Structure 1
Amino acid sequence: MSDTLYERLGGEDAIAAVVDSFYDRVLADEQVAYYFEDTDMQKQRAHQTQFISSVTGGPVDYTGDEMESAHAGMGITPSEFGAIATHLEETLAEYDVPEEDREAVLEEIASYRGAIVTAAD
């Protein structure tokens, strides 16, 4: 199969829809919602769509901050990272993304774990 993960996910519009639902879940989760209290969520959703599009092989260059600098000082713990990943996995499942592709997306995100998680539980 020569399709990229980006193409299998349905491209940018489909990824944007997943990101919107994903952030709805995140913002409803008191464990992690406070991270976004002072965040321009329209901008955040656009950045996340761009990021996921980029790391899944789409024709998109991610122009946001490097992961380490973007998350510096936030004190994100392993369990908070896990909560976010769970919301992403559940959202992808809600959009009928096959398990193999969900795992591939989560592996891409997990590769940034070291740059995002900066505090112990």
Structure 2
Amino acid sequence: MEKTLYDQVGGFVKVRKIILEFYNRVLDEDELIPYFKTVDMERQIDHQTKFISMLLGGPASFTDKHLEHVHNGMSIQNDHFDLVKDILEETLEDFDFIEEHIDILTGEFEKRRNLIVSQ
């Protein structure tokens, strides 16, 4: 049986470490901070760990409807989405993800742009 990408990269523990570092970087960006002023970051990190785990083929699941609902009304713009995507890519590179795996993950993230960015 072939391992999922989730298993190949180290499972939940590794994904959680990546997400912790990812949010350290996100919160260093002045233009992104306003989105997180009232956010319970521990809960956010938990949700994002599950979301990224799902994108990697792990056990967690988030529906597109859920993603759209939680981002509705946040006025997220394309340039903010792009910045977050770039930070994710840089974080994955720093955790020694191979280019193919980065492309898969950021591609899955990109597929959900229309659910996250305000129209």
Q: Is the structural similarity TM-score above 0.5?
A: yes
Ranges in structure 1 where 5+ consecutive residues have no aligned partner: none
Q: How far 1:104 moved relative to its partner?
A: 0.6
The one-letter amino acid paired with 2:72 is A
What is the SS of the residue equivalent to 2:29? coil
Q: How far 1:89 moved relative to its partner?
A: 0.3
Match of 1:90?
A: 90
Distance 1:87 1:99 in 2: 15
Ranges in structure 2 where 5+ consecutive residues have no aligned partner: none
Mapping of residues 1-121 of structure 1, within 5 Å: 2-62=2-62, 66-119=66-119
The one-letter amino acid paired with 2:34 is Y
The one-letter amino acid paired with 2:105 is V
Length, aligned pairs only:
118
Percent identity for Structure 1 against Structure 2: 37
Q: How far 1:55 moved relative to its partner?
A: 2.0
Q: How far 1:67 moved relative to its partner?
A: 1.1
CA RMSD of aligned residues (A): 1.6
What is the SS of the residue equivalent to 2:30? coil
Distance 2:76 2:4 in 1: 30
- Give 4+ residue runs of structure 1 displaced > 4 Å after superposition: none
What is the SS of the residue equivalent to 1:3? coil
Q: How far 1:61 moved relative to its partner?
A: 3.1
Q: How far 1:59 moved relative to its partner?
A: 2.1
Distance 2:23 2:116 in 1: 17
TM-score by length of 2: 0.93
String of CA shifts for 1:32-59, please: whole Å, max 9, x gaps: 1210011000000000001111121112
Q: How far 1:13 moved relative to its partner?
A: 0.4
